Structure 1
Amino acid sequence: MAFGTLVDETLHGFFQGGSVFSPAAVMRRQKAREQALSLGRELGCSASEPTQLLTCLREKPAENINAAQTKLLAVSGPLEAWAPVVDGVVVEEEPSTALRSGHFLSAPLFLGSSAEDGLISRAKNIKNFEQLQGRADSKTAFYEALSNSLGGDDANVFVKEAATWFYSLHHSPTPAGYNVFSRALENATRDFFITCPSVSMASFWASNTRSSVYMYHLPGDMTHTSTDLSMPLDVQYVFGVPHVPEMRGLFTSTERTLSLQIMTYTASFIKSGNPNLPLSGSTASFGEVLPPWPQFLPHPSGQNYKELSPALRNRNGLQASHCSFWSQYVPALSFSTGKHLCKNSVGELETSQNPAAEPVPSSDFSASVSQRPPKSEKDAYN
C-alpha cells in the first residue's frame, strides 16, 4: 500500500507493506491474462474474450470470487498475486526502472512492514490444500510455491534447495515434516516480497536523494492478537482501527495506546516530513511523549528502523542475513550454476541496491548466517 501527501506544496511519500522493488510490484500482461482466465474457469466463466469474461466475473458474488482466488493461490502458490500491468498508459514503465532512471521526485519517505504482512496469510492457505492432496509429509508445497515465485519451470533448482535449507535453519524437524516447510514458506514470502524490498527501497532513497527516510517494522510477537489479520496490523494501528467502537474490544489497552503513538508519529510525518516534530497546538514536548525516531542512513551501520512494539525501540539492520541471502547469495549462486532467474525476480533486489555490481561471492553471505535456537512444533505452525 502506498500513497503520497501534499502539504504546503511539499510531497511526502508513504509506503506500507513492500515497495516498488518487490517482484510483485507489477506483472506481465500475459500473466495477468492467464490468471484472469483461470479465475474465470473456476467460477464457470468460460469465455476467453476479455469483455465477455469481465461481464461474467462482475455477476459473481464477491465471496465466491475470493474463495475461488484462494483455491487458485493454494494450487499455484501463495506468491501468485495480482499486480498492476505496465500498459504504457496508466502505468508507463516499471516503477523500479523509473527510479533507476532518475524519473522521480525527491521527498521525505516513511515506509515499513509487518511480520504478518499481506501475502503471508496466503502462504498459510497451502497447508490445508496440500493435506487434502495427501502431500502434507513432504517438501512438495514449498518447492512448488517457491518454483512459481522464482520463475516457474525455469527456476534454478539450486536456488530452491538453498532457500529450503536456509529457511529451515530456524525450525526443528518434526515427524510430519510439513510444519517446517509451511512456516519456511511464510518466512520466505515475507522476506522476498515485502521486508527485503522495503529495505532496498529505503537504501535506494537514502543513497540517491537528499530526503530523509524513516523505516519501521512490526515484529512477529506483536501480531498474535484476537484481531482480524486480513488487514496487516500496522495498517490497522496507523488508521486507528483499535479505537473504532465496534473493534475496540478486540485490542488490549496497551495496543490501543500503541496505536495512538503510531498515529501521532504518522500525522507528524504527513504534516512536516519528520515523525519527530510535534503537531501544531501541542503543549507537551515531543521528546517527553514519544521516543525519537532515527533516520535510515545510506550505509550498513545506519540502516535504522523503529520497532512498532510497546517499547518503541530503535533497531538496526532489519532481517540483514535474510536480505543478504536474496540480494547477494542467490544471484551469485544463480550465476555460478549457469542459470539466471527471470526478470522481476531475485535479481531485481540485487540490482536495485547496486546496479553495477558483480555477483557477490557466497563467502560474504555465509559469514552473516547464524543459527538461532530451533522453534517448537507448536510455534512452527499455529
Structure 2
Amino acid sequence: KHGTRWVLGGSAFSPSSIITKRRAQTQAAVLAEEVGCSSSTNGEIVACLRQLPARVLNDAQTKLLAISGPFQYWGPVMDGVYLREPLAKALQRSQLRKVDLLIGSAQQDGLISRAKAIKKFEESQGRANSKTAFYQALQNSLGGEDSNKFIEDAATWYYSLEHSTDDYSSFSRALENATRDQFITCPIINMANHWAANSRGNVFMYHVPESSAQSLELLLDVQYAFGLPFYPKYEERFTLDEKRLSLQIMQYISNFVNSGNPNYPHSFSRRMSGLMPLWPMFLPNDDGDNYKEFTASLPTLKGLKKEDCSFWSDYIRRLKESTGEAVAFWLSLNHLKWTENDI
C-alpha cells in the first residue's frame, strides 16, 4: 500500500498562490474590455470570452503585462466558500499523516517567460532601450494589492544596483531575477524548510539551471520527467546525454511515487536503482539544504539562492514589520489628534 506523495513545482508560500475575489473580478473586467467583451453582466462577459481563440486572449494579456506588470496571473480565489484562508496559514494546522514531498524549481520558469513579453511589447512601441518599463513592471509585480513603497525601493536597489543606466537587457534580467526569487524559487525553499522542520514527511528538492538546450514551451524538468526526448516528434532535438538524463529523472520520480524516496524503487528496498547518484534528503538544518541539480552529472548541491532568499525571507520580512509598525504609529497619532480636536 503506497503512502501519500506530492510532486510539486510550486509552493503554498508563494505570494501568487491565491488572489482575492476583488482582484480576479478586476482582472477579468480589464481583459474583457481589452478584447471587446465589455458588458453589464458577468454572464455575458464570460460567454464572450469563451468564444475567443486562446491566441487572442494571450495577445491581450501580453499587452496588459507590459502595462500592469508581469504577474497579472490567474489563480485560485479566496472566496470564503471553497478557499477560506491563505494556503500558508492552512499549512500551520496539524496533519494526521505524513506526506512525502518532492519539490523543485527551474531557472527558466513559465512565469518568467511571461515577464519577457514586456520587452517585446516595449520594442513594438518603439521603446526598446527604455529602462522605465523595468522599474514600472518591477514595482507593479512587487506591489500587488498590498503595495509597500519601502519594499519596492529595496528590491529595485537590490536587483539593479550593479546595472548600467542605459542597458535595457540588464534591467530585463533583473526583473526576471526579482520576480523569480520572490514568487517561485524562495517560496519553494521556504516550503521545503517548513515541511522538513515540522516532520511532515521526507523532502527532496531539485533545481533546473538555465539552459539553451531546447526552445520548447515546456520547462526542462517537465520535458525530462515525461520522456519528451523519446517522442518521435522531438527526439532529434535532444542529445544522447539529454536522453540519458531524462531516463534517470523518470526513474527518480517513479521511485519516489512508489516508495517516497527517489533512490529506492520500493518502500521495503534499500538498494538504489541502477547506478544513479544518491539524492540526499532536504533537512531542516544549516548544512541540510541539499538539492539535486538536473544536469548531465546530476550533482548534489547546497544553499540554492541562499543570499537572494535571505533578502526576501529575512530582510523584507523585517522591513514589513518595521514599516507596518511605523504606519500603525502614524495612524494612532492622527487618531489622537482627531480625538483631541473633537474634544
TM above 0.5, one fold? yes
Q: Residues 105, 33 of structure 1: CA spacing in aligned structure 2 closer, same or farther, 3 A cutoff?
A: farther
Is 1:10 the counterpart of 2:14 in the alignment? no
Amino-acid identity (%): 50
Is 1:309 the counterpart of 2:295 in the alignment? yes
Query: What does 1:193-204 correspond to in 2, within 5 Å?
Result: 193-204=183-194
Query: What does 1:321-332 correspond to in 2, within 5 Å?
Result: 321-332=307-318
**What amino acid is aligned across from residue 15 of structure 1 in structure 2?**
L
Q: Residues 118, 330 of structure 1: CA spacing in aligned structure 2 closer, same or farther, 3 A cutoff?
A: same
Q: Check the 8 A contact 1:303/1:317 in 2, yes or no.
A: yes
2:285 is matched with: 299
| Cα displacement (A) at 1:113 | 0.5
2:263 is matched with: 276
Q: Which runs of 4+ in 1 moved over 6 A?
A: none
Matches of 2:132 and 2:40 in 1, distance apart?
31
1:239 is matched with: 226
Is 1:65 the counterpart of 2:57 in the alignment? yes
**What amino acid is aligned across from residue 247 of structure 1 in structure 2?**
Y
Given the two structures, how large is their TM-score scaled by the length of structure 1? 0.79
Q: Check the 8 A contact 1:117/1:232 in 2, yes or no.
A: yes
Q: Which runs of 5+ in 1 are unaligned?
A: 1-7, 342-382
Is 1:139 the counterpart of 2:125 in the alignment? no
Is 1:253 the counterpart of 2:240 in the alignment? yes
Matches of 2:222 and 2:76 in 1, distance apart?
21
The residue matched to 1:286 in structure 2 has which SS?
Answer: coil
2:306 is matched with: 320
Matches of 1:340 and 1:135 in 2, distance apart?
38
Q: Check the 8 A contact 2:62/2:121 in 1, yes or no.
A: no
1:51 is matched with: 43
Matches of 1:158 and 1:30 in 2, distance apart?
24
Matches of 2:289 and 2:209 in 1, distance apart?
17
CA RMSD across the alignment: 2.4
Q: Check the 8 A contact 1:297/1:304 in 2, yes or no.
A: yes
Deviations 1:251-278 (A, max 9, x none): 2221111111100000000011000103
Report the number of matched residues: 325
**What amino acid is aligned across from residue 327 of structure 1 in structure 2?**
S
Q: Check the 8 A contact 1:143/1:160 in 2, yes or no.
A: no
Is 1:214 the counterpart of 2:204 in the alignment? yes
| Cα displacement (A) at 1:142 | 2.2
Q: Check the 8 A contact 1:334/1:340 in 2, yes or no.
A: no
Matches of 1:159 and 1:340 in 2, distance apart?
14
The residue matched to 1:217 in structure 2 has which SS?
Answer: strand
Q: Check the 8 A contact 1:240/1:260 in 2, yes or no.
A: yes
**What amino acid is aligned across from residue 306 of structure 1 in structure 2?**
K
**What amino acid is aligned across from residue 263 of structure 2 in structure 1?**
N
The residue matched to 1:216 in structure 2 has which SS?
Answer: strand
Q: Check the 8 A contact 1:156/1:339 in 2, yes or no.
A: no
Matches of 1:209 and 1:241 in 2, distance apart?
35
Q: Which runs of 5+ in 2 are unaligned?
A: 328-343
Q: Check the 8 A contact 2:138/2:156 in 1, yes or no.
A: no
Q: Check the 8 A contact 1:215/1:306 in 2, yes or no.
A: yes
Which residue, 164, 168, 176 being the options, matches 1:173?
Answer: 164
| Cα displacement (A) at 1:305 | 0.6
Query: What does 1:349-364 correspond to in 2, within 5 Å?
Result: none
Q: Check the 8 A contact 1:108/1:213 in 2, yes or no.
A: yes
Matches of 1:160 and 1:232 in 2, distance apart?
29
Pair member with larger Rg: 2
Q: Residues 154, 19 of structure 1: CA spacing in aligned structure 2 closer, same or farther, 3 A cutoff?
A: closer
2:15 is matched with: 23
The residue matched to 1:309 in structure 2 has which SS?
Answer: coil
| Cα displacement (A) at 1:202 | 0.2
1:4 is matched with: none
Deviations 1:233-256 (A, max 9, x none): 111111111111101122222111
Q: Residues 129, 173 of structure 1: CA spacing in aligned structure 2 closer, same or farther, 3 A cutoff?
A: same
Q: Check the 8 A contact 1:13/1:110 in 2, yes or no.
A: yes
Q: Residues 101, 139 of structure 1: CA spacing in aligned structure 2 closer, same or farther, 3 A cutoff?
A: farther
2:214 is matched with: 226
Q: Check the 8 A contact 1:115/1:218 in 2, yes or no.
A: yes
| Cα displacement (A) at 1:105 | 4.6
Deviations 1:272-296 (A, max 9, x none): 100010369x9xx636520100000
Q: Residues 139, 152 of structure 1: CA spacing in aligned structure 2 closer, same or farther, 3 A cutoff?
A: farther
2:333 is matched with: none
| Cα displacement (A) at 1:97 | 1.3
The residue matched to 1:45 in structure 2 has which SS?
Answer: coil
1:129 is matched with: 121
Q: Residues 24, 340 of structure 1: CA spacing in aligned structure 2 closer, same or farther, 3 A cutoff?
A: farther
Matches of 2:100 and 2:226 in 1, distance apart?
20
**What amino acid is aligned across from residue 164 of structure 2 in structure 1?**
P
Q: Check the 8 A contact 1:236/1:242 in 2, yes or no.
A: yes
